[in-house]
Amino acid sequence: MVSLTAVQASNACIPTTLPSGLVAIFVGGTSGIGEYTLKEFARLARQPRIYNIGRSQQASDRIAAECKKLNADAQYTFIQADVSLIRTVDSVCEQIQANEEAANVLFLSAGTLVSGVIPETKEGLHLSASLKHYSRARFILNLLPLLKAATGIRRVVSVLCGTKEGAINLDDLQGWKVKTGDMIKQRGHSASIVTLIHAHFAQQAPTVSFIHDFPGSVKSGIIARGTTGLLFGVLTVFKLLGPLIYIPELESGQRHLFYATSARFQAKDGVEEAVPLGEGVEVARGIDGLKGSGVYSADQFNESAGPEVEELLKRFKKEGLVEKIWGMIEEEYERIAKLPKE
């Protein structure tokens, strides 16, 4: 694991080692891990331009005021949107593309644990799968040209279940048939899909670093209303015990900012203007087992996945699952593009 002291020391170098005017896009930054990381970025970056995409204007107003206190030179833009909808994602990206020629960080943390109540979006996707897979992939697809154009750090950080990769069910990619008791199995399924999506885009953009992490137990807004059954019971118990086991909010924000800025998670090709490695910190091992290979599955302590996960992902890649999964996602995009406009 990377010690918190090493993380803090690295982040403290952001004002002096990274260029001013970094552009960071936070999808799901109105609460939880996205919010904690956004505020750390606002505090430490010089003259940053921050985009926060979420549903709550009230939460955004509060965060904007806090960011202004943290850094008077920070430029903060809120885009109110339901990012479970692919067409809405496209609209959000068009707004950003109209204002920016490059972007340094795309931070994806939107998600939900709602089950059974509102499982389907208006576009016909499973709500949870849309937020975890289809929406995230669409943001990366649309904004990858901006990331590739950046002269500083170029990072995609996706917060979900890194290091928890498991078997993939291609016959139920979205998880319509998943039962509450299959939560662990579905977690492995989703984790593998996100990591393989990153591997797909890394083939097109080797100068961009892709990090999929598991954040550990952190207080956030993901435990939404409407959850029922066994999952409700599990989450209720977790909510009661949470204060005893939660990773502190500040530490979570610091560790995720480390993902977004440290040379430990460097891109495969090219030279990033990342924060240099500190004492005792090495370049991380990518999902292929090689240091600095550009696609990372990592845990709550900024440590790479172990050999078991590496072997699993290696087998998936050999079986062509990167291409198969991306093909299935594209089919849904094409279907949605043909839907009548509201």
- What DSSP state is assigned to residue 133? I
pLDDT at 196 over 70: yes
CATH number of 4-337: 3.40.50.720
Q: Across the chain, where does the E strand assignment appear?
A: 23-27, 49-54, 75-80, 105-108, 155-159, 209-213, 295-298
Query: How confident is the model at residue 239, as a pLDDT?
Result: 55
pLDDT tens, 170-185? 999 999 988 766 778 8
pLDDT tens, 324-333? 999 999 999 9
pLDDT at 313 over 70: yes
Distance between CA atoms of 148 and 65, rounded to whole angstroms? 31
Q: Which sign, positive or negative, has the C-alpha torsion 55, 58, 60, 63?
A: negative
pLDDT at 235 over 70: no
Instruction: State the pTM of this model.
Output: 0.92
Can you tell me whether residue 80 is helix, strand or coil?
strand
pLDDT at 224 over 70: no
pLDDT tens, 86-104? 999 999 999 999 999 999 9
As beta bridge partners, residue 285 has 291
Tell me what percent of the residues of the chain surpass a pLDDT of 90.
Answer: 82
pLDDT tens, 263-306? 999 999 977 789 999 999 999 999 999 999 999 999 999 999 99
Given pLDDT bands bounded at 50, 70 and 90, which one contains residue 222?
low
pLDDT at 231 over 60: no
pLDDT at 243 over 80: no
Domain boundaries of the chain, sorted by first residue: 4-337
Burial class from Cβ neighbours inside 10 Å (0-12, 13-18, 19+) for residue 1 reads exposed
pLDDT at 81 over 80: yes
pLDDT tens, 127-167? 999 999 999 999 999 999 999 999 889 999 999 999 999 99
pLDDT at 225 over 50: no
- What are the Cα distances from residue 215, in Å, to 159, 163, 195? 7, 10, 15
pLDDT at 219 over 90: no
Distance between CA atoms of 11 and 7, rounded to whole angstroms? 6
pLDDT at 67 over 90: yes
The overall average pLDDT reported for the chain is 91
